[in-house]
Structure 1
C-alpha cells in the first residue's frame, strides 16, 4: 500500500469570524480557547505575545481578557473578513481601522458588549461573550454565513515525524506544543508547562503552523512596539505527528503551501498559528 497523503471531502457551515484580541501575559489563564476555530499568536513589545482567538463555528461563552490591538492584528482580521474585537489599540492600529473604515467592536465605544470580571485587576479583567458579539453582528446586518467545501488533509505515513515544538520568543517567554498520538492533538506548553484555560481544561489543537515573519522595533516608539508585515514567508506545519515544510501567505486568513506546491487547507482543523519573528529560537523534535 503506498504511504500517500489522503484528502477526505470536508464540508461545514461557517459564520462571519469574530477575531478577539486576548492577553497572553498576566491575563493567563484565559477564557475562550475551547470554542475557537483558530488561535493566532503574535509577537508584541517586551518579548511577549498576544493572541487572537477566531470564532466562525461556535461562539465562546466567555472570551478574554480582551486587550488592545496592533496594526498587524487589524490586518489579520481583515484578511479573514472578520470583525475585530479589542480594547483600543496602538496609534497605528486605530489609524488603520479609521482609514479603512473597518467595523470593529472596541470596548472604548461599545462598552455594552464587555464586562469587567471580579477577582482580576485591569487591564487583565475585560471579557466579552460570543452571544453578545454575534447579536451585535446581526444587528448591524454584517453576518455572512458561508458553506465551506474543501478537503481534510492527512499526511503520508512516511512524512518526517515531529512530536514537539518550542519557540523562544524572548528570555521572558517560551511557547510550544507537544503531540499526543493517542488523542491525535497538540497540547499547548506555555513557559515549559502544559497550559490550561480559565476552567482548568487543557488547551489543545489539531494542527500547528509555525509562520516565520520579519519583525523590528518601530524607531522612536516609546513602548518599543513592533513593525510587522504580514505577507508571506517560510512555514512549517505540524499535523498528526508529522511535519511539512512550505510557505505561508496572508490570503483569506493564513494559507499554507507545501514545498511540493500543494495547498493544505487549515480550515477543517482547529489550528494555532505562531507568527515567529526572525530573532526567535525554534526547536522542532
Structure 2
C-alpha cells in the first residue's frame, strides 16, 4: 500500500485543517439558518427534514452469511461499512441516524475494528457476541454498547425460520428502553459529513462508472456489484448476481456514494481473525452520480473519508457504503470498473 511521506502528512494536515475549518464555518451558517425557521438536514445523508434531528447514531453489526440473507433494516442505514472477517466472508457495520427501523438483523458478533468505526460516529454499539479482543474493549466501558449475549430472547429476538447464528434480530424500541436503563444518552446527533451539490461531484472525475464489481472472495456469494440507476441517482447493490433487497420492505439496498478503500489486513490467530489497519490511509475510489474519482482515504476522528491531493472530498446527498478491501490485493485486482 502506498505510504505517505512525512512531508505529505504535514501537507495533508495543514490542508485538512484549513478545509475542515471551512466546513465548520458552513455548518455554523446552516445552524443560523435553521434557527430562523428553515428546514434542517440529517447529518449523515444531507437530506432535509422539518425537525432538528437530535437522535444519537446507532451502529449495528449485521450478518452477511448467505444464510442470513436477505437482511432486515439494511436499506435504512445512513452509512454501511462492508469489511472482511474470518472465513473469507464479509460482515457489515450499519450506522442508523436518519431512520430507525422497527427491527434490524440478523445481528452478528463484534470485532475490534467494528468498535473503532462505530466510535467515529459516537454510536451506541450493537452486536451479538464478540471476539476476545472486542470483548475486552466492550467490557472496559470504552463505548456504550448492548450485546445479545447478555440480552438474548429479550431485546434480541430469535427467528425460528432461520438457524443460529443467523437468526438474531434487535428490536429498536426495546433497545432504546435498555439504553435508558443503562443510563446511555440517546440525544446528540453525530457531526455532519461534508456534502456537495450533485453537479460538483462530477467535476474532475476520471471516467464514467455505471457499474463496479468488488471480488471480496473467490466464492460467488461474496462478489459484490453496484449498478447505477440514473433516475434515482443511486447505485443499487447486487451480491452473487442477485439484487440485494430488504427482507421486510422489499426495498432495494442502494447508496448515492460508494467509497472503496484498501487497507492492510493481517491474520492474528488460528481462527483466522483479522487485524485491519484503519489509521494509515491509502488508495481509494469514490463513485458518485455515475462517475468515479481516484482518491486517497484518511481516518479523521475515527471516520474513513475521501481526499484528493490532500484536500477533503465531499459526498452527494444520500446514503453511503464504504467497502474495505485488503491492500495486499489492491484496487486493481479486486475492483473492476465498467464504463458502459
- Scaled by the length of structure 1, the TM-score of the pair is 0.88
Residue 163 of structure 2: which of 121, 124, 127 is its match? Answer: 121
What CA distance in whole angstroms lies between the structure 1 residues aligned with 2:173 and 2:318? 23
- Quick one: structure 1 residues 267 and 89, their matched pair in 2 at CA, closer, same or farther if it must change by over 3 Å? farther
- Quick one: structure 1 residues 141 and 83, their matched pair in 2 at CA, closer, same or farther if it must change by over 3 Å? closer
What CA distance in whole angstroms lies between the structure 1 residues aligned with 2:178 and 2:315? 27
- Quick one: structure 1 residues 35 and 134, their matched pair in 2 at CA, closer, same or farther if it must change by over 3 Å? farther
Alignment-derived partner of residue 69 in structure 1: 110
Q: Is the 8 A contact 1:255 1:265 kept in 2?
A: no
Residue 145 of structure 1: which of 150, 169, 188 is its match? Answer: 188
Greater Cα shift, 225-234 or 69-78:
225-234
SS in 1 for 2:117: helix
Contiguous gaps of at least 5 residues in structure 1: 1-6
Alignment-derived partner of residue 224 in structure 1: 272
Q: Is the 8 A contact 1:14 1:57 kept in 2?
A: no
Aligned-residue offset at 1:261: 3.6
SS in 1 for 2:149: coil
- Quick one: structure 1 residues 50 and 152, their matched pair in 2 at CA, closer, same or farther if it must change by over 3 Å? same
User: Does 2:227 correspond to 1:174?
Assistant: no
What CA distance in whole angstroms lies between the structure 1 residues aligned with 2:56 and 2:158? 26
SS in 2 for 1:170: coil
- Quick one: structure 1 residues 89 and 171, their matched pair in 2 at CA, closer, same or farther if it must change by over 3 Å? same
Alignment-derived partner of residue 47 in structure 2: none
1:246-261 correspondence to structure 2 within 5 Å: 246-261=295-310
Alignment-derived partner of residue 337 in structure 2: 284
Aligned-residue offset at 1:164: 1.2
What CA distance in whole angstroms lies between the structure 1 residues aligned with 2:149 and 2:130? 10
Figure out how many residues of one structure are paired with residues of the other and give that number.
Answer: 277
C-alpha RMSD of the superposition: 2.4
- Scaled by the length of structure 2, the TM-score of the pair is 0.75
Alignment-derived partner of residue 41 in structure 2: 11
What CA distance in whole angstroms lies between the structure 2 residues aligned with 1:44 and 1:273? 15
Alignment-derived partner of residue 284 in structure 2: 235
What CA distance in whole angstroms lies between the structure 2 residues aligned with 1:242 and 1:39? 20
Aligned-residue offset at 1:224: 1.1
User: Does 2:76 correspond to 1:30?
Assistant: no
1:181-196 correspondence to structure 2 within 5 Å: 181-196=230-245
Greater fraction helix: 2
Larger radius of gyration: 2
Alignment-derived partner of residue 88 in structure 2: 47
Greater Cα shift, 246-255 or 19-28:
246-255
What CA distance in whole angstroms lies between the structure 2 residues aligned with 1:229 and 1:158? 29
Q: Is the 8 A contact 1:38 1:272 kept in 2?
A: yes
Aligned-residue offset at 1:207: 0.9
Q: Is the 8 A contact 1:255 1:263 kept in 2?
A: no
Q: Is the 8 A contact 2:212 2:336 kept in 1?
A: yes
Greater Cα shift, 130-139 or 66-75:
130-139
Deviations 1:153-185 (A, max 9, x none): 431356231111111111122112111112111
What CA distance in whole angstroms lies between the structure 2 residues aligned with 1:165 and 1:149? 24
Aligned-residue offset at 1:151: 3.7
